[in-house]
Amino acid sequence: MPDESQVRAFYSGKNFFITGSTGFVGLCLIEKILRTIPDVGKLYLLMRPKKGKDIVERLDEFPKHLVFEKLIEQKTIDIFHKLVPVAGDVGEENLGLSPEDKKTLLENVNVVVHSAATLDFQDNLRPTIKINLLGTRRVMELCKEMKNLKVMIHVSSAYVNSYLTEAHEKVYEAPEDAEKIISLVSTLSDEALDEIEPKVLKDHPNTYTFTKHLAEHEVKKCSDLFPCTIVRPTMIVGSWKEPVPGWTCSKVGPQGFLMGASKGVVRRLPLSKDNIADYIPVDVVVNELLVAGWHTAKSKSGLTVYHCSSSTCRPFRWSSLEHTINKKLHMYPLKSAVWYPYLAFNSSLLSFRLSAIFIHFFPAILLDLLLKLTGGRPILWRLNRNVWNSLNRLEKFIFSEWLFHNPNTLDLCKKLNKTDSELFYIDISTLDWEDFFTNLQKGVRRYLNNEKESTLAAARKKQTKLFIFHMIWQAGIILLLWYFAACLMGLTMMKSAWAVPGIYILYTCL
């Protein structure tokens, strides 16, 4: 007879309070809880009105999310009655809670999962302090008043310590005094904040990692009052196994550029293919949040820190996919593709920018013109320009390599019985990255582009046509470069035909 799930037994009957519930991790967490912990209590979701919809309308849209397809097949739609929307915002005083809602939370919540954050690397200190730092402080203040809190689970990021090349599972010294930074944000103008930002951040690459680092100290301050755990994921990617392999709703990271590559829009990527890219599947992150909460709750107080990472236990390098990535793109093409998919890697920003002029911007001009003539909205030039402008901010993350040591996570794996090891798997030792990216490509097709498997035949026919057009375009570009070369040398094109092989080699190297 199989062992009883200790994790499920702990959460049965418990009421959750979850921030960031409509985000990538939040949606996957809710799906996992509803599907695998049927006796869970209420899930109170902090939500704010958005796009003219109140929180009840936003909650009514939950069953429409494709992440819940498997859940609805196994259960009934009545399972969503466990979800309770709570009007509020981590960026507001007292989380924007009404007195009635606050009372409900204080009297009923047993488990808090704080996932809400602003992830925009372009944000200055004002919004990131307001949401990432003060938002966490407000959540912790609420936790202090809860009558029967069993555990507080804080979703951080391994990159809070990105100023180090190797990081361990501990809370490092704060980069600055939080009260000083809060005072600066409350008194200085945006222009003044932008001016002092480099001095404030010091070794931190952006305001996100800086403010999330400070937020960890807000959690640490409360660890003597009730059990707290910090889980630090690295770059979160689509699902490994659940709810289905390859599920994603995020366009950040590899799923984003696989989407662009499938469309034929992204054709070059700046990255160090031999560096470790620390990716972690979203379902593993969700499982670790629940397992860490279960284990931490065994103590009456204290703080545990876990790296949810792959760099030191199942490292991935893009060089392992360099020769197969285009095969995946061509095997699962998009019916909505606008150009023949082909992806290559650039080892420096300089080589990428040079390639982008010919490979990204020239086709963007042509395709935007076609879109305009056919009544569409030209967006490709603007999209490529935005990518171009963002590269300097992202350079550290593109070309750096980190090692996030995770002995606490590995030890946590050993504490799970056989049932929990299968139900709430956090051991990635058997993860096959080749298979993972095949499923991720299929997931990008299904969940980010909303193209079902039934459209594959039509997509492959279109891909053949796009290939023919692509070859004509390539020939046209080489012909144009041949013409310019002949003009520069003062020769006729026939007399400069000897230059064509060199032009072709140089162009294919872009």
Q: What was the pLDDT predicted at 313?
A: 94
Q: What was the pLDDT predicted at 341?
A: 94
Residue 347 included in any domain: no
Q: Which domain holds residue 32?
A: 6-263+277-318+401-437
Tell me which residue has tokens 């606050």: 102
Question: What's the whole-model pTM score?
Answer: 0.93
* 134 and 228 housed in the same domain: yes
Q: N- to C-terminal Cα distance for the chain?
A: 61
508 in Cβ contact with 471 (< 8 Å): no
The residue among 394 and 129 whose pLDDT is bigger is 129
At 249-263, the pLDDT tens digits run 999 889 998 999 999
Single-letter amino acid, residue 483: Y
pLDDT of residue 76 exceeding 80: no
Residue 268 included in any domain: no
* 187 and 108 housed in the same domain: yes
299 in Cβ contact with 15 (< 8 Å): no
Single-letter amino acid, residue 449: N
* 189 and 244 housed in the same domain: yes
391, 409, 437 — which closes off a domain? 437
Tell me the C-alpha distance between 168 and 188, whole Å: 35
The residue among 484 and 19 whose pLDDT is bigger is 19
Tell me the C-alpha distance between 328 and 349, whole Å: 25
Residue 286 included in any domain: yes
Mean pLDDT of the chain: 92
11 in Cβ contact with 147 (< 8 Å): no
Q: Give the pLDDT mean for 89-105.
A: 96
Q: For the ranges 126-130, 142-146, 369-373, which has the lowest average pLDDT?
A: 369-373
Q: What was the pLDDT predicted at 1?
A: 56
3-state secondary structure of 133: helix
153 in Cβ contact with 292 (< 8 Å): yes
Among 291, 239, 253, residue whose Cα is nearest residue 426: 291
115 in Cβ contact with 212 (< 8 Å): no
Q: Give the pLDDT mean for 361-390.
A: 82
Q: How far is CA 264 from the centre of its chain?
A: 22
* 482 and 412 housed in the same domain: no
* 106 and 37 housed in the same domain: yes
Tell me the C-alpha distance between 218 and 191, whole Å: 28
Residue 234 included in any domain: yes
Percent of the chain whose pLDDT exceeds 70: 99
Strands 344-346 and 302-308: unpaired
3-state secondary structure labels for all residues of 167-231: ECCCCCCCCCCHHHHHHHHHHCCHHHHHHHHHHHHCCCCCHHHHHHHHHHHHHHHCCCCCEEEEE
67 in Cβ contact with 40 (< 8 Å): no
* 313 and 460 housed in the same domain: no
Residue 53 included in any domain: yes
Tell me which residue has tokens 């890697």: 345
230 DSSP β-pair partners? 154, 305
Q: How many domains does the chain have?
A: 2
pLDDT of residue 408 exceeding 60: yes
Q: What is the DSSP string of 334-376?
A: -TT-SS----EEESSHHHHHHHHIIIIIHHHHHHHHHHHHTT-
* 424 and 470 housed in the same domain: no
Q: What was the pLDDT predicted at 434?
A: 96
* 432 and 500 housed in the same domain: no
Q: CATH number, domain at 417? A: 3.40.50.720
Residue 418 included in any domain: yes
* 98 and 184 housed in the same domain: yes
Tokens of 313: 């236990």
Q: What was the pLDDT predicted at 119?
A: 81
At 282-313, the pLDDT tens digits run 999 999 999 999 999 999 899 999 999 999 99
Q: Is residue 469 very low, low, confident or very high in pLDDT (cuts 50, 70, 90)?
A: very high
pLDDT of residue 509 exceeding 80: no
Peptide bond into 270 cis (omega under 30): no
* 461 and 425 housed in the same domain: no
Tell me the C-alpha distance between 401 and 162, whole Å: 10
Q: What was the pLDDT predicted at 95?
A: 96
Residue 449 included in any domain: no
Residue 461 included in any domain: yes
Tell me the C-alpha distance between 118 and 103, whole Å: 27
* 464 and 424 housed in the same domain: no
pLDDT of residue 200 exceeding 60: yes
Q: How far is CA 247 from the centre of its chain?
A: 12
Q: What was the pLDDT predicted at 481?
A: 86
The residue among 100 and 391 whose pLDDT is bigger is 100
Q: What was the pLDDT predicted at 379?
A: 81
The angle formed by the CA atoms of residues 211, 53 and 152, to the nearest 5 degrees, is 40
Q: What was the pLDDT predicted at 485?
A: 87
pLDDT of residue 397 exceeding 90: no
Neighbours of 373 (CB within 10 A): 9
* 177 and 247 housed in the same domain: yes
Among 204, 63, 55, residue whose Cα is nearest residue 125: 204
